[in-house]
Amino acid sequence: MDNENQSVTIGQKLHDARVAKGYTLDDLQKNTKIQKRYLMAIEDNNFDALPGEFYVRAFVKQYADSVGLNGQELLNDFNHKLPDTEDPEYVDRVNDDNPQTRSVQRKADERTEKIRRYIPIAAVSVVVLIILIAIWVAAAKSTRNTAKTEIETSKVSVSGSSSSSKSSSAKKAKKKASTSNTKVSFSQLSATDSDLTYRVKGASKTPKIKLSVTEASGSDSATSDSSATSAWMSVTADGSSLWQAALTAGKSHTVSLPANTSSVTINSGNAPVTKISVDGKQMKLPTASSQVRNVILQLNGSADSSSTETSSSTTDTTTDTTGTQTGTDTGTTGY
């Protein structure tokens, strides 16, 4: 295999496999959800054109699996010709070249600066409030005992009423927030190693998809930092691309879907650390055995229809250590 690698590049091998399968680049783009320009760059061995070296191996593996090659064996055979995904410099380059990450950081800095500007104003307001309270106490002491008693009685009454009102308002707000989050439900329609399809019910007319990245489990705390875990993601609604970028651990991005959207495809280049929420309700996705995964959401449910439908029975879906799910749905299944 070493002699073959010297004469045949990884891009040429993938190109030949695609042609042998009779696939065009458009066919492969539809199957892998990887943009056509990235597929062309892989065939030309132009890995610098990809979103970042951190994702070269993930894209190459998905390409190989789609054209009938063993992606992992191909990566092992051409390991010395591919970028080292563990090199922190590659991760830093992805973050530096990502305007979305810089924009989020800039907004965070602006919020911090605003807080610093308002601290003196808040301090002065507190001092003024203390002075007013002291004046009021002094004036109350100068009145007659009977008037003072009436004022204190009134104050206790108003304070009790205010506390009761605040408690009632807090309970209503908490109940409303709980109802808003729990009305969204998900039903799994199909599942493969790299593709999951769900029906979403109870979402709003313009649902909000929140994407976030968590720290990879089992990472070495002595060598890892917030930038060592990241994922390149894209969101497509009814065939139209809405957003695509790389997110690092601890960061999130919310995409507002157009009204009457029926289908959403979320592509993740680092599935094990990707989290997805719809209208504030986080999806409980099975453990990913594939680095790249597509999550397809069918938004054909509504708040009205979901309230009138009932579930006859549900068989829990279990996930083994390889991420394979088994389960039999006997009714509408949701979280």
Q: How many angstroms separate the CA atoms of 229 and 44, rounded?
A: 28
Does 205 lie in the same domain as 122?
Answer: no
Does 104 lie in the same domain as 76?
Answer: no
Closest CA to 62 of 248, 292, 227: 292
Inside any domain, residue 94 = no
DSSP 8-state code for residue 322: T
Closest CA to 100 of 249, 265, 243, 266: 243
Q: For the segment 234-273, what is each residue's pLDDT rounded down to a tens digit? A: 989 998 999 999 989 888 999 898 988 989 888 888 888 8
Q: For the segment 194-244, what is each residue's pLDDT rounded down to a tens digit? A: 788 889 888 888 888 998 988 766 544 444 444 458 888 898 999 899 999
Does 222 lie in the same domain as 137?
Answer: no
DSSP 8-state code for residue 271: G
Inside any domain, residue 152 = yes
Does 204 lie in the same domain as 304?
Answer: yes
Please state, for a pLDDT cut of 70, what percent of the chain lies above it: 66
Does 210 lie in the same domain as 302?
Answer: yes
**pLDDT score recorded for residue 176:** 61
**pLDDT score recorded for residue 50:** 83
H-type alpha helices, the chain: 2-7, 10-21, 25-32, 36-43, 56-66, 71-77, 88-96, 99-142, 145-182, 303-308
Distance of CA 136 to the CA centre of its chain: 52
Q: For the segment 125-140, what is each residue's pLDDT rounded down to a tens digit? A: 999 999 999 999 998 8
Inside any domain, residue 114 = yes
- pTM value > 0.85: no
Inside any domain, residue 25 = yes
Does 81 lie in the same domain as 104?
Answer: no
| Domain finish residue from 59, 85, 111 | 85
**pLDDT score recorded for residue 161:** 59
Cα–Cα–Cα angle for 300, 303, 309, rounded to 5 degrees: 80
**pLDDT score recorded for residue 306:** 38
User: Which residues are CB-contacts of 222 (< 8 A; sequence separation ≥ 6)?
Assistant: none
Inside any domain, residue 130 = yes
Domain count for the chain: 3
**pLDDT score recorded for residue 129:** 95
Contact 259, 159 (CB under 8 A): no
Does 271 lie in the same domain as 202?
Answer: yes
Place of tokens 């789609």: 66
Interhelix angle 25-32/56-66, rounded to 10 degrees, is 110
User: At residue 324, does pLDDT exceed 80?
Assistant: no
User: At residue 329, does pLDDT exceed 50?
Assistant: no
**pLDDT score recorded for residue 331:** 37
Does 31 lie in the same domain as 124?
Answer: no
Does 191 lie in the same domain as 300?
Answer: yes
Inside any domain, residue 178 = no
Q: How many angstroms separate the CA atoms of 76 and 58, rounded?
A: 13
Q: How many angstroms separate the CA atoms of 290 and 202, rounded?
A: 29
Read off the CATH number of the domain in which 11 is found. 1.10.260.40
**pLDDT score recorded for residue 94:** 43
Average pLDDT (93-121) is 69
Q: For the segment 289-308, what is each residue's pLDDT rounded down to a tens digit? A: 667 889 898 986 544 433 33
Inside any domain, residue 321 = no
Does 301 lie in the same domain as 191?
Answer: yes
DSSP 8-state code for residue 296: E
Q: State the residue range of the domain holding 57.
A: 2-85
Inside any domain, residue 204 = yes
Q: For the segment 138-192, what is each residue's pLDDT rounded down to a tens digit? A: 988 887 777 666 666 666 555 565 666 667 777 776 666 555 555 888 888 998 8
β-strands 195-201, 293-298: how paired? parallel
Q: Where is average pLDDT lowest: 99-113, 117-131, 315-329?
A: 315-329
Does 306 lie in the same domain as 206?
Answer: yes
Closest CA to 82 of 112, 121, 55: 55
Does 205 lie in the same domain as 298?
Answer: yes
Closest CA to 302 of 241, 260, 245: 260
